């Protein structure tokens, strides 16, 4: 086992935490197994380190955030979020994800720039990177935290609990496709950088992780996973 492997995966396997409610990161195959970009990145990194991978999916961002203080996993495949930096050191970005809004039928905002107004209700996945960004950005509209995932997002709009839902543009398009009259608003409020979060105890191995992420960006591994998942509103950063 190379030194970086023993640092990153002290149990002899690479335990990778995933946010299962985020379809940009995780997809569920017809047979029930997990796939998607974060799974492909975790599997490729484990193979590079010559250790087996063990996927640790969390149902939503809140549960993922609660697990940060435990020692239940070695790497987390999620947003480079300042609120998580107490526990993690972050690799270079493997995927950039545009964040925008999907509006319910009849909602008054016409663009992303038109959302922050009194009387507008913005639903967002509680504890997610978009939630943290919107808490800093929004001054006049009301933020309505809901559980992460497609169904809570769709239901918040369908029931009128919220006027818009703030999320990655891929999920925004999925919701718009499934909800009569809903539409993705032009523009975006943020670009989220997805990275490999490494436990602070293993930060000495970060150069190894960075080099491998750079390789995955340049050799097509990440783009292939994006294409297989059919993602919209995402891109692979240029190799550095």
Residue 1 has pLDDT above 60, yes or no: no
Q: Tokens 């490729």: give the residue.
A: 44
What pLDDT score does 168 carry?
92
In the chain, pLDDT over 90 holds for what percent of residues?
A: 92
Tens of pLDDT along 138-175? 999 999 999 988 999 999 999 999 999 999 999 999 99
Tens of pLDDT along 35-62? 999 999 999 999 999 999 999 999 999 9
Residue 210 has pLDDT above 60, yes or no: yes
**Whole-number average pLDDT of the chain:** 95
Angle 4-16-237 from CA coordinates, rounded to 5°: 80
pLDDT band at 238 (very low <50, low <70, confident <90, very high): confident
Q: Does domain 3-96+193-235 have CATH number 3.30.70.20?
A: no
Residue 186 has pLDDT above 80, yes or no: yes
What pLDDT score does 239 carry?
67
| CATH 3.40.190.10 domain span(s) along the chain | 3-96+193-235, 97-190
The total of other beta-carbon atoms located within 10 Å of residue 232's CB is 16
Average pLDDT for 13-28: 95
Helix axes 150-158, 169-178, angle to 10 degrees: 50
Residue 217 has pLDDT above 60, yes or no: yes
Tens of pLDDT along 112-143? 999 999 999 999 999 998 999 999 999 999 99
Pairing of strands 164-168, 190-199: unpaired
Q: Does domain 97-190 have CATH number 3.90.1300.10?
A: no
Give which of 91, 103, 99 is closest to 179, Cα–Cα: 103
What pLDDT score does 240 carry?
62
Residue 74 burial class via C-beta count within 10 angstroms: exposed 0-12, middle 13-18, buried 19 and up: buried
Gap between the Cα atoms of 20 and 153, Å rounded: 15
Read off the tokens for 237. 């950063």
Tens of pLDDT along 47-106? 999 999 999 999 999 999 999 999 999 999 999 988 899 999 999 999 999 999 999 999
What pLDDT score does 2 carry?
64
């Amino acid at each position: 086992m190379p030194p970086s492997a023993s640092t990153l995966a002290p149990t002899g396997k690479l335990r990778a935490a995933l946010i299962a409610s985020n379809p940009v990161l995780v997809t569920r195959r017809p047979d029930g197994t997990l796939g998607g970009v974060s799974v492909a990145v975790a599997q490729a990194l484990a193979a590079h380190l010559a250790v087996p991978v063990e996927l640790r999916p969390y149902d939503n961002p809140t549960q993922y955030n609660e697990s940060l203080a435990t020692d239940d996993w070695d790497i987390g495949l999620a947003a480079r979020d300042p609120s998580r930096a107490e526990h993690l050191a972050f690799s270079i970005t493997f995927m950039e994800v545009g964040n925008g809004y999907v509006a319910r039928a009849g909602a008054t905002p016409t663009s992303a720039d038109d959302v922050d107004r009194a009387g507008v209700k913005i639903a967002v996945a509680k504890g997610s990177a978009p939630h943290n960004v919107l808490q800093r950005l929004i001054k006049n509209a009301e933020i309505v935290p809901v559980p992460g995932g497609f169904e809570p997002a769709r239901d918040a709009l369908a029931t009128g609990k919220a006027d818009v839902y703030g999320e990655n543009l891929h999920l925004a398009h999925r919701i718009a496709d499934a909800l009569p009259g809903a539409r993705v608003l032009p523009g975006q409020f943020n670009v989220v950088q997805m990275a490999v979060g490494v436990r602070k105890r293993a930060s000495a191995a970060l150069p190894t992780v960075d080099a491998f992420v750079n390789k995955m960006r340049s050799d097509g591994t990440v783009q292939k996973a994006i294409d297989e998942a059919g993602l919209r509103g995402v891109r692979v950063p240029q190799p550095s």
